Amino acid sequence: MIDHFKQNPEVQAAIKTYENAALLRAATGSKRKTLFEQSNCSGFPAELIGPSSAFVFIPVSKADGKGEIGFAGMTLRADYIREQLLPQATGELLRGAGDDSSPIISVLDENDREVYSSGGGLTRHEVRLDLSPVLRKWKMAIGYPNTTIEALARSQFRQNLLLIGVAIALLLAGLILALRATIREMKLVEAKTTFVSDVSHELKTPLSLIRLFAETLELSRVRRR
């Protein structure tokens, strides 16, 4: 029964795909438990899974944890990836974005045909990244509809330069105000000192006379009439 099951073309195709995924994991040095493989699915019924799909495998280990006795897996249909999985994933990445400077994420197949795009109007791809190991035959392209990364960088640089200029102007204005306040306080202290000195000088002469007359009276040097 098991041998007959293994001889099934669909089972053989699944085993071959799993082996390819395992080889891919070994080649990339991946330590993740889940294995991915993208295939043209030539061994599977096209009406069942479509012309291009991704396979997700999880190895089934023995009870003692030594070795594997098989695998469990599932197939992700291309239309599911395009219509549900990719919109959900890109929606989380672009959450809160929506203006003209927001990036647009596109997914390209092995022939550079657009499989999915988060928005229209993208004519130039700024960055291209492989979707390995999940969808290693597809690529993710990122771009902007009405601008470029270089233009955004220049605009950001100008904004930062303007902010730095404003900050320096505010610092200079604060320094000038501090100097003016210091000079004003110094002049106020000088005016107080001058006032006290002048008052002391003006009061010194009459106080000296009063003191002289008081001492004369105390010594009885003035005769009473």
| pLDDT at residue 24, as a whole number | 65
pLDDT grade, residue 1 (50/70/90)? Answer: very low
Identify the domain containing residue 95 by its residue range.
80-143
- CA–CA separation, 39 and 20 (whole Å): 10
Same domain for 124 and 105: yes
- Rg from Cα positions in the chain: 44
Same domain for 159 and 133: no
Task: Give the domain-ending residue among 76, 103, 126.
Answer: 76
- The answer for residues whose C-beta is within 8 angstroms of residue 65's C-beta and 6 or more apart is none
Give the range with max mean pLDDT: 76-90, 165-179, 205-219. Answer: 165-179
pLDDT grade, residue 185 (50/70/90)? Answer: very high
pLDDT grade, residue 47 (50/70/90)? Answer: very low
Summarised one tens digit per residue, pLDDT across range 102-155 is 788 888 877 788 878 887 766 677 788 887 666 777 888 888 877 777 888 888
CA nearest to 116, candidates 143, 146, 81: 81
Summarised one tens digit per residue, pLDDT across range 200-210 is 877 777 777 77
Same domain for 154 and 139: no
Same domain for 18 and 72: yes
Task: Give the domain-ending residue among 143, 160, 183.
Answer: 143
Residue 154 forms beta bridges with which residues?
Answer: none
Same domain for 86 and 72: no
Same domain for 153 and 130: no
Same domain for 70 and 23: yes
Which is more confidently placed, 159 or 99? 159
Summarised one tens digit per residue, pLDDT across range 150-173 is 888 888 899 999 999 999 999 999
Which is more confidently placed, 195 or 222? 195
Across the chain, mean pLDDT equals 75
Same domain for 28 and 55: yes
Q: How many domains does the chain have?
A: 3
CA nearest to 52, candidates 142, 136, 141: 136
Same domain for 60 and 38: yes
Summarised one tens digit per residue, pLDDT across range 3-45 is 555 566 666 777 777 777 777 666 666 666 777 777 654 444 4
Task: Give the domain-ending residue among 99, 116, 143.
Answer: 143
Reported pTM: 0.50
